[in-house]
Chains A and B, each alone.
Chain A
Amino acid sequence: SSWWSHVEMGPPDPILGVTEAYKRDTNSKKMNLGVGAYRDDNGKPYVLNCVRKAEAMIASKKMDKEYLPIGGLADFTRASAELALGENSEAFKSGRFVTVQGISGTGSLRIGANFLQRFFKASRDVYLPKPSWGNHTPIFRDAGMQLQAYRYYDPKTCSLDFSGAMDDISKIPEKSIILLHACAHNPTGVDPRQEQWKELAATVKKRNLLVYFDMAYQGFASGDINRDAWAVRYFIEQGINIVLSQSFAKNMGLYGERAGAFTVICSDADEAKRVESQLKILIRPMYSNPPVNGARIAAMILNTPDLRKEWLTEVKGMADRIISMRTQLVSNLKKEGSSHNWQHITDQIGMFCFTGLKPEQVERLIKEFSVYMTKDGRISVAGVTSGNVGYLAHAIHQVTK
């Protein structure tokens, strides 16, 4: 007999399932719009030029492979903090923050979740927007926290339910934790406008909530790293000591290298040192110390003026291509003769788009047109190219007319 007879088969990952089915499909026109990774206009993965250059520079230095410190590569963590907070940030300049390297966005979120579980005794409740990235819930749950929600997406308008969000947030018990997507909300692509962020900040401050920002798309959303970090920086300026998770998977195309960071804004540098010591105590029994490769590449890019400049251009290029696909999709839908309002496709931002399509329509898209997406009608705009946007518009029109 086995120790494992009672172990249940884990449920299949819904997003992976989309890709599996796509791979099996023999239709030459098939499209994979489930993919959460950027693709170029030929539908291919894109390795940034600045990344290739950074890799070459790193190789020429012939560095050793000694363990990184538990908190990660200092050149990387400092540069990540500066990227998020801005070089003129008072919090950054005063050193009243700690940034540790994390295993991309997930690992950084998890470190933060574990830290809150251990040291934020005021509440176990983490409030997520409805909907949020599917992995947020199990991450916080596995860390020992409880999940709550606030209204966010309005399916009737395919945009932000601002009054609903404000209503819910204003009623969140004091000292709860609220998670906000810094930009390019996943999965809806719906972001608050700056005036709305200001109101959110005021409410969150009034309710004395602990703010946890998840920023996985800085630069990738609007094409402008400062614009995409505006909410994070505004909150800090308002005196809200946030915690922040960053990912370099998308904006530097470093997906499999797992480059990320977790930051805690503190009252002062001394508090930051104490927080850092506790973060290290959490990290050590998880994986001892982080992987070097992605962090070295990211640090080289951020800290080398020429490479940084090139990166900013390339990340804008990726964002622009996404924005252009949104525009082309809408104009193609009009050309197809669709009478629906598709403005949300261009209003939304980032990699993902909540089309508003219903499950039955999604199923038809998959079965009849080999266009693959998740049941909630979310598409990855990264999977759209100038070569297939027409086909996509045609397919969508057929199932919605």
Chain B
Amino acid sequence: AYRTDEGQPWVLPVVKKVEQMIANNNSLNHEYLPILGLPEFRANASRIALGDDSPAIKENRVGSVQSLGGTGALRIGAEFLRRWYNGNNNTATPIYVSAPSWENHNSVFMDAGFKDIRTYHYWDAANRGLDLQGLLSDMEHAPEFSIFILHACAHNPTGTDPTPEQWKQIAAVMKRRCLFPFFDSAYQGFASGSLDKDAWAVRYFVSEGFELFCAQSFSKNFGLYNERVGNLTVVGKNADNVQRVLSQMEKIVRTTWSNPPSQGARIVATTLSSPQLFDEWYGNVKTMADRVLLMRSELRSRLEALGTPGTWNHITEQIGMFSFTGLNPKQVEYMIKEKHIYLMASGRINMCGLTTKNLDYVAKSINEAVTKIQ
């Protein structure tokens, strides 16, 4: 979760404002939302992902399912795919998850009933970057119709995203091999500070004519973690297809949670549908993104100034909340035991944990760890 420079959680100012508006609105009650969710939320959420001028929206071939966070959106999508994709009830369709990925991806698809979950090459540890050749090779050799979980931006946990040119290569292979793109978009806006930039890959795939799913989370970019605000965006070939897909997703929702929680959706819908509130929100998002970007550049410059062995450009080239520092497990152990700095055994750090107060200490500690421990 995001932290301020004081190391504190941050409720976005626009969220506080909108919550007050909701509280003061006596015409609101706690009645059930429709099964697929609050209509104003669903439309705005998908619009944010696909862009105001999205051809898919104009052509009325976009569907949305309000879900319990990004996880819930992934699960509804997975349950639908297991029932209706690549034949009926085909649990044998391979699911490809990046190596590494958010560990819950595996569990979501496994619990949805898929039997064959595989990894695709992603992180190149030696070069501390994207293993594009490995990734493309895996796609070339994947069985037709395999499903690929793609991180829309700010890859979790490596912070390493394909460039636009690399995305184009990925899309070309996926199109030729008839592979299904399932995007996980948990950091739109939060990664670069720009909603459009962070949605570039998803929108490119749409412009290339793909049918796809995009699981969106508003946990980070709205700071609404515990309200569980998410949306599954469905892009299809035409309105009729999308309508039938949604009708089946409705049945899945009905046996999972019946209808989604209303508070978080109301906050997001109110914000996104008001130009003024939208601008305020954008400003809040930029505040968060900019702080993380600042911490990245400050950490890197300190490491380089200290003459820390190795190269450290990956700290600023990576994006989003997480960074794969390249520290090995022994070095990580040193950081935890000797310096009381907590990070994952993979060397992943949460950039949100950095503050102007602890930057020096963290940089010095990394320097020590890399120098003393091999």
Contact = CB atoms under 8 A, between A and B. Distances in A.
Contact of B75 (A6, A68, A285, A291): A285
B11 interface: yes
A249 B242 CA distance: 31
Contact of B72 (A6, A106, A287): A287
Given A4-B236, A55-B23, A291-B68, A256 B227 contact: no
B261 interface: yes
Contacts of B241: 2, 4-5, 7
Interface residues of A, number: 56
A10 B254 CA distance: 12
A253 interface: yes
Interface in A230-289: 249, 253-258, 281-282, 284-289
A52 B104 CA distance: 37
A103 B256 CA distance: 8
B188 to A, nearest CB: 18
A369 B267 CA distance: 40
A65 B261 contact: no
B255 interface: yes
Contacts of A143: 255
Nearest to A138: B255
A273 to B, nearest CB: 21
Contacts of B221: none
Contacts of A321: none
Interface in A70-129: 103-107, 110
A9 B244 contact: yes
A7 B240 CA distance: 10
Given A4-B236, A65-B227, A282-B111, A110 B32 contact: no
Contacts of A66: 1, 9, 225-226
B226 A67 contact: yes
A4 B84 contact: yes
A26 B180 CA distance: 47
Given A3-B211, A257-B30, A286 B251 contact: no
B312 interface: no
Contact of A37 (B32, B88, B211): B32
Contacts of A284: 71, 104, 107
B255 A110 contact: yes
Given A4-B241, A65-B227, A288 B104 contact: yes
A28 interface: no
B207 to A, nearest CB: 17
Contacts of A256: 30-33, 259, 261-262
B180 A3 contact: yes
What class of interface size applies to chain B in its complex with A?
35 or more
Contact of B31 (A9, A105, A142, A255): A255
A278 B320 CA distance: 32
A290 interface: yes
B245 interface: yes
A7 B219 CA distance: 31
A8 interface: yes
A36 to B, nearest CB: 8
B335 interface: no
A59 B23 CA distance: 9
Which among A13, A37, A45, A64 has the greatest number of chain B C-beta atoms within 10 A?
A64
A157 to B, nearest CB: 32
Contact of B238 (A2, A105, A291): A2
B255 A289 contact: no
A294 interface: yes
A104 B262 CA distance: 12
Most-contacted residue by chain A among B224, B236, B256, B262 (CB, 10 A): B256
A201 interface: no
Interface string B76-100: 0000000011101000000000000
Contacts of A139: 255
Contact of B11 (A4, A13, A55, A64): A64
Contacts of A292: 226-227
A344 to B, nearest CB: 28
Nearest to A47: B29
A258 B66 CA distance: 14
A56 B23 CA distance: 8
Interface in B179-204: 180
B9 A258 contact: no
A51 interface: yes
Contacts of B68: 103, 286-288, 290-291
Interface in A29-79: 37, 45, 47, 51, 55-56, 59, 62, 64-68
A289 B30 contact: no
A339 interface: no
A2 B104 CA distance: 29
Contacts of A68: 226
30 contacts: A2-B236, A3-B211, A4-B236, A4-B237, A6-B84, A13-B250, A47-B29, A47-B30, A64-B11, A65-B15, A65-B223, A66-B9, A103-B258, A107-B257, A138-B254, A143-B255, A256-B31, A256-B32, A256-B262, A258-B261, A285-B104, A285-B111, A287-B68, A288-B228, A289-B226, A290-B68, A291-B68, A291-B228, A293-B261, A294-B263
Q: Which 6 A-B pairs have the closest CB atoms?
A: A287-B68, A10-B247, A285-B107, A256-B262, A106-B258, A103-B257
Given A2-B241, A110-B256, A255-B31, 6 more contacts: A4-B211, A7-B241, A106-B258, A288-B68, A288-B228, A293-B227
